[in-house]
Amino acid sequence: MKLLSLNVGKPQEITWDGKTLRTSIFKSAVADERKVSFLNIEGDEQSDLRVHGGVNKAVYAYDVSHYEHWKKLLRRQDWPCGLFGENLTTEGLPDDKVKIGDVYQIGTALMQVVQPRFPCNKLNVRFQLPDMAERFATQRRHGIYFRVVKEGVLKAGDEISLLDPSPFNVTVQQYVDCYYAKGADKTLVDAILSIPFLPESQRRAFTSFA
């Protein structure tokens, strides 16, 4: 497992569909070492803190395997790392292998998987496609939000190690599928609700499915 690219961005105003939006989805790859704090990566800043950022969404990771899927689906080849707004473009962390609660070491930082990313309309802006957020939800390749357990530094090329496997038998993919199925699998809903660090907004959603 490897960190292929480290990507950061600052808020900027973009005009889309006749409206001016403030977004940080436009990320650029950086080659130097960056500090990871409990809230973000050095040089990166979230825009809408109602839905982005905070300790449970400090770092967003998206696996390169998802890129290959999207290239085929959208028939586009201009795919720089960070295109989905992720801080970490990874190799070896697909949603169907990573479990909620897994703790990984990247560089000297320790990060725990907390939840998937759910799409917003900023994906439409980034891809210049009015239905990209809808496509993202349909394809169910959402990526991973980490909380930072131990601050540290990292850089592109760092190895990624599973330091502490999760005691919760719920993959990111299972979580996503259960969410969109509105809790059809009650056993899985119970497993998700048993996670003590489940963000409150997610706990409310899954409680409504129970």
Is position 198 within any domain?
A: no
What does the pLDDT read at residue 19?
84
Distances (CA, A) of 188 to 163, 168, 179, 181: 25, 11, 10, 11
Distance CA 90, CA 210 (A): 34
pLDDT of amino acid 17: 81
| Res 50: pLDDT | 67
Q: Give the tokens for residue 31.
A: 């080659």
Say which residues have a Cβ less than 8 Å from residue 188's Cβ, sequence separation at least 6.
Answer: 170, 174, 178
Q: Is residue 20 part of a domain?
A: yes
Instruction: Kindly state whether residue 202 falls inside one of the protein's structural domains.
Output: no
Kindly state the greatest CA–CA separation across the chain: 47
Instruction: Note the pLDDT of residue 52.
Output: 67
Q: What is the pLDDT along the chain (210 residues), one digit of tens a residue?
A: 999 999 999 999 988 888 888 899 999 999 999 999 999 999 998 876 666 678 999 999 999 999 999 999 998 877 899 999 999 999 999 999 999 999 999 999 999 999 999 998 899 999 999 999 999 999 999 999 999 999 999 999 999 999 999 999 999 999 999 999 998 899 999 999 999 999 999 999 999 987
The candidate with the shortest Cα–Cα distance to 65, out of 102, 28, 92, 97, is 92
| CA gap 175, 77 in Å, rounded | 30
Q: CA–CA distance from 38 to each of 54, 84, 119, 141 (Å)?
A: 8, 22, 23, 25
Domain count within the chain: 1
Quote the domain boundaries for residue 131. 2-166
Q: What is the CATH number of the domain that holds 142?
A: 2.40.33.20
pLDDT at position 64, please?
Answer: 97
pLDDT value for 144: 98
Q: Has residue 52 been placed in a domain?
A: yes
The whole-number pLDDT of residue 21 equals 84
Is 171 within the bounds of a domain?
A: no
State residue 15's pLDDT score. 87
**Beta-carbon-side half-sphere exposure of residue 158 (alpha carbons within 13 Å):** 22
Distance CA 89, CA 91 (A): 7
Report yes or no on 196 lying in a domain: no
99 part of a folded domain: yes
Q: Among candidates 64, 57, 56, which has minimal Cα distance to 83?
A: 64
Q: What is the pLDDT of residue 49?
A: 64
CB atoms closer than 10 angstroms to residue 181: 12
* Residue-wise DSSP of 130-184: TTHHHHHHHHT---EEEEEEE-EEE-TT-BEEEEE--SS--BHHHHHHHHHTTS-
Residue 121 lies in a domain: yes
